[in-house]
Copies of this chain bind each other. A is one copy, B any other.
Amino acid sequence: MRIVQKYGGTSVGDLERIENVAKRVAKSAKEGNQLVVVVSAMSGETNKLIGYAQHFSSMPSKREMDLLLSSGERITSALLSIALNEMGLEAIALTGRQSGIVTDSMHTSARIEHIDTDSLEKHLQSGKIVIVAGFQGINREGDVTTLGRGGSDLSAVALAGALQADLCEIYTDVDGVYTTDPRIEPKAKKIDKISYDEMLEFASLGAKVLQNRSVELAKKLNVNLVTRSSFNENEGTLITKEENIMEKPIVSGVALDKNQARITLRGVVDKPGIAAEIFSNLAEAGINVDMIIQNVGEDGATNLGFTVPENELESAKEMMLKMKPAENLEFDRDIAKVSIVGVGMKSHSGVASRAFEALAKENINIEMISTSEIKISMVVNEKYSELAVRALHEAYELDR
């Protein structure tokens, strides 16, 4: 098999861990796999460099930041290659440029435009293990660029796509994707296979195994993504096309997002386009509105409720108090969003009602609801959120 492996900052956090990664890579190579290994900077390294830059400037040039920050991954790649050579394996470390990764010029958050695989193919054909410094490329002018947060995952997925790898393994310090957060529900189980779309819903709901950009790219390039731990031999979770998953559970998992706050406007000013004005102002200010509910109150006045990330509540509050779009404004931090995700929902009815029943049985009031084809999200009082997660986990028999 041709495999792209990616090891994150924790997995290469110190010299012993790099040694451990070398052993894993060696094992996979000896099993006959063709390997490209993408590495992050040793954990803490990138933050140290950011701290250095901030000593000089609160707004350092993004071009120089990219030159600065790209060095961490180069160091890890060279060290891993040295460790593999010492084990008697032929390895070669390549920078983003040497791996043929060409990006646009959006320094610190560049997008990969093209991968020239000639050099990579040459090294792979000659039997070498190719170690790639993640998170980086060059633009058409030859300047170093970086890909932003989660950039090494993107490097790995893009390389797997360009090289038509059979598998792209993303190694972190967690075993894979779980039916829910095991700290909330100890009966949570690791999911063996999950579709791209489900994973995208999970990630946006706060399951931090993989960032959406990487999953989206994997979906686009049809890359079989595996997320697994570099600290044990467990199998991990395969993220793949829906068609590749034989047994589709109705609900794959339950996600919880506590970083939510709600703004309620009672008695909205009776003016055409007022709702559009509210939301375009919020969007311009970079505030991400998630769920929106509009209804007519008992007295006939229009009420409007919406949620924003908790850390954006203050700016949203300030804006609302200035706009005064309603008689009565309420701001509530003590809410949480509980969601069930599953591709099986598409072809099953009665999925939502089972959720509502489960929460009703625990006397949990559902304050807002939103649904998509493969997801049902419910806003509840934050203090009931863990209970809600456990109730839903049980209702869909996710511990079986």
Contacts and interface: CB of A to CB of B under 8 A. Distances in A.
Contact of A85 (B64, B75, B86, B143): B64
Contacts of A77: 67
A334 B85 CA distance: 44
- Is chain A's interface secondary structure helix, strand, loop, or mixed overall? helix
A142 interface: yes
A82 B64 contact: yes
Contacts of A75: 49, 52, 68, 71
Interface string A30-65: 000000000000000000010011011100110111
Number of copies of this protein chain within its complex: 2
Given A75-B71, A78-B67, A56 B86 contact: yes
Contact of A74 (B19, B71, B82, B85): B71
Contacts of A55: 15, 19
Given A74-B67, A75-B49, A93-B67, A19 B56 contact: yes
Interface in A251-276: none
B56 A15 contact: yes
Contacts of A82: 53, 56-57, 60-61, 64-65, 68
Interface residues of A, number: 37
A210 interface: no
Nearest to A131: B64
A60 B75 CA distance: 14
A18 B53 CA distance: 11
Nearest to A71: B71
A372 B18 CA distance: 54
A316 interface: no
- Closest A-B pairs by Cβ, 6 of them: A68-B78, A71-B71, A57-B86, A56-B83, A60-B82, A67-B78
Given A18-B56, A60-B86, 10 more contacts: A19-B55, A19-B56, A56-B86, A61-B81, A67-B95, A68-B75, A68-B79, A70-B74, A71-B71, A98-B142
